[in-house]
Structure 1
Amino acid sequence: MLIRSLTRRRTGRSGQPQVRVRRSRLRSAITAALVTGLTVLVPLPTPVSAGETRQARQVAYVTNLNGNTVSVIDVAGNTTIATIPVGLGPTGVAASPGGTRVFVVNQGSRTVSVIDTATNGVIATIPVGVTPFNVAITPGGTRAYVTNLGSDNVSVIDTATNTVIATIPVGNAPRGVAFSPGGTRAYVTNRSDDNVSVIDTATNTVIATIPAGDGPSEVAVTPGGTRAYVTNQTSGDVTVIDTATNTVITTIPTGASPTGVAVTLGGTRAYVANFNSGTVSVINTATDTVEATLGAGVNPDYVAIANVP
């Protein structure tokens, strides 16, 4: 069975990157951006003629859960430029730091599809665990970590060889995964155990297990690496973790069924999508309090932060 969103009651999935804009435009941007599909934005080099300067263009890769495809969207033109067949039930998606590869998790196939962004073709299919759900790439781009909901572990992929080099046991029903800025630690939410596993990426072992709220969903780490914010979908709050001590600092009430979370590039705010409330909670990371609650679309699910020219 394909799992769209793991709640105590099975619910549907939707989600689209959130874009950071000027404060006067913030509410409308968040409302417009939280729509169906898991998406990653990839900067790609544009073809150039002799004497011209090569510039990057942004392309969005959107997983289509029931279509078993990935839609490729040219952001500048807001046009779909390709549709790529992948495995069964694609969910999580992540791009390499250089933008040359996109990794797509296929829930039903128990695989990861690797897309070459130059050709928009699948160049490798990698077997992973049972019911893979999400994927994140290390800051250096050398490894991809895939959470496997059904087998309670994390598959570590060598992105140079597209092979699994380690399988890390974690808690029950691992879902979200995020890295510290230096890539030395991976934080994995274990939904059924109500905790977070901290992985040392040098040894690929769990070095700490931190209690969270009820039904932890996703996790985001501040740019400075000092805090991790964990959404707890069932208890309706966010757990704030001190990454130096691997202890819980505080718990912040949000809207109903918080799922996606992202921290601004400056690290001053965390944006939390509240799936059942149809809102976004804005957390001030200096005080760890909700300073604003913004309206969004129906069932907002995932959030991403980007600079907008």
Structure 2
Amino acid sequence: MKRQVVTLAVMAMVASSTAIGVQAGQAPGAAADPDVRISHRDRVYAAEQFSNTVSVTDPTDNRLLGVIRLGEPQPANFSPLYRGQVLVHGMGFSPDHKTLAVVSIGSNSVTFIDTATNAVKHTTYVGRSPHEAFFTPDGKEVWVTVRGEDYVAVLDGATFEEKSRIQVPGGPGMQIFSPDGTYGYVCSSFNPETVVISVADHRIVGRVKQESPFCPNIAATPDGRQVWFTLKDVGRTMVFEAQPPFSVLKTLDTGPITNHVNFAWTPQGSFAYVTVGGLNEVKVFRTDDFSPVGTIPTGNLPHGVWPSGDGSRIYVGLENSDALAVIDTATNQVVATIPIGQAPQALVYVPNAVPDGDGTSGLQPLGVAGQATHIVLAPVRGGTAPTSVSLFDQGLTQILQASVAGLEPRKPYVLALASHPDGTGVVEPLSAFMTNPAGSAIVNATGPIRQIVQGREPAQRRYLMVVPGTATDMGPPVQVQVE
């Protein structure tokens, strides 16, 4: 009798484990999809904004295989005859895992890439400043949010040509679909409203009020019950019902420069991973009761996030570290950091992207795309606000990107150069900016800045700092360069 009890218990455990495996499909698939164990056939792709590349990583041994070069760095891309892509940023993939859709903001394009050969199959040009693109679950359409205008461009999933447009509130930030393909969810980066669209007839069937107008990212849980979206300017993440009446379920305070969100389904449950750029962290929440599970330090300015095909790993693009962080979902710790291209934005994990061969055809080494200088600014009066600065090499010049945090909300500031380390002496403004409601900002500039801030001649050396005010009326420094 005792042996029978043990046998029944073991059978129950096996049945439970089997059920978890079946109900553990990873986003953007359905929960009923089977998990796909990590293998050499899988790939992690990241869209890199300042090197204009797509990095290709083998997740089995966390090894960068190379990059797909879609464009050139400055100053080549200044030419009126330039034909490459500029500001490679958004990314999606087809349901059969054979095609990447890569959005370049500066050249208004969607580039379609064969995952097996890394070859460009087609480039479609759309409206002003597109942001993200994704295939519908049946693969028949590709929806592209044209953030610089007020519509979603609908492309044919086979020819990649634009066939129609869906009018939405101005500044659509991103779209994602319910796992069954019934709804498309489109958040806005310029207006405080997310719309729900019927995929069958392209009609708006629901509206969700955003707590701020700046949503860069949206994701649907594989069980088809919830939609999560991030609000970058106020540092929050909102959750609403994926089915009518699309009611708001929860608003979470996640932190300054809240970037992307995605999900991992594991034997321990379903979890949301949110990248918080201003804190250099990924925050983890349960999706059943929204309780916080953990905070994971990653590296500078975490941005894109995507799970492996079995939910055992989460991959995070580190925008100001030029790297890919790998998180073990069983321990919620970073287990690897992989150098990739400059300023990774969106990323995707594509199981079985390369069914045959080594999948390295057409890839190029990082080259200048792997060259950057990283600097930290610290508060003058103490504090822990992690303001990071990256200088992305473009040959003789660099693109500067500062992830500024810890300032007063909605106030004018200037990123400037000073002749003395404490921010005194001769002061030259680089870039004026306004902080968002969370007291943070992403600030850009360009020029031979590395040669100035790391110069060996004391008379020519300059130091980065942040000061309150405007370019013509600057106050004393509040943050200064420490490394």
**How far apart in 1 are the matches of 2:263 and 2:60?**
24
Deviations 1:102-123 (A, max 9, x none): 1111212211111122332212
2:298 corresponds to which residue?
A: 296
Q: What are the within-5 Å matches in structure 2 for residues 112-261 of structure 1?
A: 112-214=110-212, 215-244=214-243, 245-261=245-261
Q: What are the within-5 Å matches in structure 2 for residues 27-106 of structure 1?
A: 57-76=41-60, 78-85=63-70, 87-106=85-104
The sequence identity of aligned pairs, in percent, is 29
Cα 1:71–1:263 change in 2 (3 A) is closer
CA-CA distance at 1:92 after TM superposition: 0.7
2:103 touches 2:109 (CA, 8 Å); kept in 1? yes
- What is the one-letter code of the residue matched to 1:66? F
**How far apart in 2 are the matches of 1:246 and 1:137?**
22
2:288 corresponds to which residue?
A: 286
- The secondary structure found in structure 1 opposite 2:305 is coil
CA-CA distance at 1:70 after TM superposition: 2.4
**How far apart in 2 are the matches of 1:159 and 1:239?**
30
TM-score (norm 2): 0.50
**How far apart in 1 are the matches of 2:119 and 2:51?**
17
- What is the one-letter code of the residue matched to 1:69? T
1:254 touches 1:290 (CA, 8 Å); kept in 2? no
2:403 corresponds to which residue?
A: none
CA-CA distance at 1:81 after TM superposition: 4.1
Count of aligned pairs between the two proteins:
255
| RMSD, aligned α-carbons | 2.0
2:375 corresponds to which residue?
A: none
1:88 touches 1:107 (CA, 8 Å); kept in 2? yes
CA-CA distance at 1:82 after TM superposition: 4.8
Deviations 1:117-149 (A, max 9, x none): 233221211121210111122222222111111
- What is the one-letter code of the residue matched to 1:60? V
**How far apart in 2 are the matches of 1:292 and 1:129?**
40
CA-CA distance at 1:185 after TM superposition: 0.8
Q: Where do 5+ consecutive residues of structure 1 fail to align?
A: 1-54
CA-CA distance at 1:56 after TM superposition: 6.7
CA-CA distance at 1:66 after TM superposition: 2.3
**How far apart in 2 are the matches of 1:152 and 1:164?**
16
Cα 1:224–1:124 change in 2 (3 A) is same
Is structure 2 residue 276 aligned with structure 1 residue 274?
yes
- The secondary structure found in structure 2 opposite 1:301 is strand
1:265 corresponds to which residue?
A: 265
Cα 1:236–1:202 change in 2 (3 A) is same
CA-CA distance at 1:258 after TM superposition: 1.3
**How far apart in 1 are the matches of 2:122 and 2:133?**
16
CA-CA distance at 1:225 after TM superposition: 0.9
Deviations 1:200-251 (A, max 9, x none): 1111122222102222221111111111111111222221101221121221
**How far apart in 2 are the matches of 1:123 and 1:196?**
32
1:89 touches 1:109 (CA, 8 Å); kept in 2? yes
**How far apart in 2 are the matches of 1:265 and 1:76?**
19
- What is the one-letter code of the residue matched to 1:122? V
Q: Where do 5+ consecutive residues of structure 2 fail to align?
A: 1-38, 72-84, 314-483
**How far apart in 1 are the matches of 2:262 and 2:133?**
15
**How far apart in 1 are the matches of 2:92 and 2:250?**
29
Which stretch shows the higher mean deviation, 77-86 or 220-229? 77-86
**How far apart in 1 are the matches of 2:153 and 2:257?**
27
CA-CA distance at 1:95 after TM superposition: 1.7
- What is the one-letter code of the residue matched to 1:199? I
